[in-house]
Chain A
Amino acid sequence: MTLWYLARAAGLIAFLAATGSVVLGALASTGHRADDRSRDRRVLRQLAHRSAAVVTVAMLGLHVVLVVTDSFVDLSVPGALVPFTAGYRGFALGLGTLAAYSLAAVAVSGAARGRLAASARSARHWRALHASAYVVWLLSLGHGILAGTDTGRWWTWVLYAGCAAAVAGALVARLVVADRHESTSPLAAARRQLTTGGVR
């Protein structure tokens, strides 16, 4: 039973770390004030974002290994690898499997960020690929609520609602800041002029 408790704990910690990473990632693009202190804070948000992402991947790995090895629920290796084929809570576990695969893609794109900047073509696709982290987060939220043994206890609702509020808030902050930057930055204004003739 110990493994089962550890597996559940690892899953919850992975979800908390994923929330932290998504929030910090969204906030890493905010803060356009041109002074050294706000630039340094952006660098720190990036570092914290990457650290939280590493914790997420590590805890997810632990969660998957423990859930498969544990004998309390009968989950086979193919059942864990192929989405929606698990014998135990098939749909909910399928969401988790899909989340794990998309997280792998997001994590690789994050790790290869500097290398992808080397060519103009790959850099253009980087943001779209990495933004699928929001989908990963939604999938893992669904997986947690539907598959979680603790779902229904008061503290899980506090946890999920708190995490959802944090991600929604960070996303709104990011969009608001991007919009303001777009309308005030002289370079962005000049680009708009060139590409659309000034029409937004």
Chain B
Amino acid sequence: MRIEVDWTRCDGHGLCARLLPEKVGLDEWGFPVIDTPEIGDDLVPHARRAVGACPALALRLVPG
């Protein structure tokens, strides 16, 4: 699995970085910075939680 940010919708709320700190960091304006988007099996539940919490529905979990 991989996480993707839809940049047309992301508003820099920053909740994803609180729920998935292993993968998501924030730049100085609060927008997510993701170095390695691949999500291991152990992190999938946390990634799903982050996807569900995004206020802008801008985060998604895609296969591959």
Contacts and interface: CB of A to CB of B under 8 A. Distances in A.
Interface of A: 28-29, 32, 34, 36, 39-40, 42-43, 46, 113-114, 116-118, 120, 123, 126-127, 181, 185-188
Given A120-B6, A186-B29, A113 B13 contact: no
A126 B17 CA distance: 23
A122 to B, nearest CB: 9
Contacts of B37: none
23 contacts: A28-B55, A32-B13, A34-B12, A34-B14, A34-B29, A36-B18, A39-B14, A39-B15, A39-B17, A39-B18, A42-B13, A42-B55, A43-B19, A43-B53, A46-B53, A117-B52, A117-B58, A117-B60, A127-B57, A185-B11, A185-B12, A186-B29, A187-B11
Most buried by A among B6, B52, B62: B52
Contacts of B48: 114
User: Range of interface residues on chain B?
Assistant: 20 to 34
Contacts of A186: 29
Interface in B10-27: 11-15, 17-19
For the residues of A in contact with B, the DSSP-based class is helix
B54 interface: yes
Nearest to A119: B60
Given A36-B18, A117-B51, A186-B29, A123 B11 contact: no
B14 A123 contact: no
A123 B9 contact: yes
B8 to A, nearest CB: 8
Contacts of A32: 13
B18 A43 contact: yes
Contacts of B54: 117
